[in-house]
Amino acid sequence: MSQNRKVAIITGSSQGLGASIAKKLSKKNVNVVINYSSSKELAEKIRDECISNGVEAIAIKADVSQNEDCIKLVKRAEDVFGKVDILVNNAGTTKFADHSKLEKLSDEDFINIYKVNVIGPYQMIRAVEPIMKKTGFGAVVNISSIAGKTGIGSSIAYAASKGALNTMTLSLAKALGPEIRVNTVCPGFIGTGWFENRFGKETFNRIKKDQENITPLNKAGTADDIADSAIFFCLEGAEHITGETLISDAGMHLNLPKV
């Protein structure tokens, strides 16, 4: 019955990894809240796909960098479903900047990236805390990056923000137990449409091939691969785990060149 289903909010879930997580959760009989900041059309498409899996789903516009939006997003989910059991902090942003060219990043770049990648997840967790504490169950999954573990990535600001998110996971896991578990997934390369649209098909295919060649598992990650890792923390099998950071990258981090 719908009353017995868990309820999940997935931020930034109108496309890419967030959409994959939402669809996979719906296939596991979880009601889902699709969050988007720009494309209502894409969000409603994912919502409808989730509904076709036999669950209830809604799409809500909210900018996680704005605390008022986070509060409204959680309140709307509670009004519709009566509870929130799962929060996946997937929304993120970056700026591409060569790590060796420090002048390419301004203080505003750092602020804008941290507002979405660090402050946004904090605000979302703060907003769901009372509901999860009341029901006695909460699973929070932060989507980070191996950039936060290794210092690589699209820019130093991005890597630093993901490192901060990893540390925040530890702090919140200590602070919010026993009712709420907080864990992090650190993906490597994810072959999504966003990546292909930015770099073009030819470059995307080259990078994908490089990933297959350098990873011990000879695999370039997909959104579905990472979604499986995130869902592990959300549902059965991870009840004894909190404050953990799981690298999901086909072993890419093992073969990174020494700096």
Catalytic center residues: 158
- Residue 32 CA to residue 11 CA, distance in Å, equals 11
Residues sharing a CB contact under 8 Å with residue 74, sequence separation 6 or more, in sequence order: 9, 84, 124, 127, 128, 131
C-beta neighbour count of 151 within 10 angstroms: 15
Instruction: Name the DSSP letter for residue 56.
Output: -
- Residue 225 CA to residue 143 CA, distance in Å, equals 13
Measured over the CA atoms of residue 66, residue 7, residue 134 and residue 230, the dihedral's sign is negative
- Residue 100 CA to residue 198 CA, distance in Å, equals 21
Contact between 207 and 199 under an 8 Å Cβ cutoff? The reply is yes
Nearest to 141 by CA among 22, 258, 55: 22
What is the helix (H) or strand (E) element at residue 139, kind and residue range?
strand 138-143
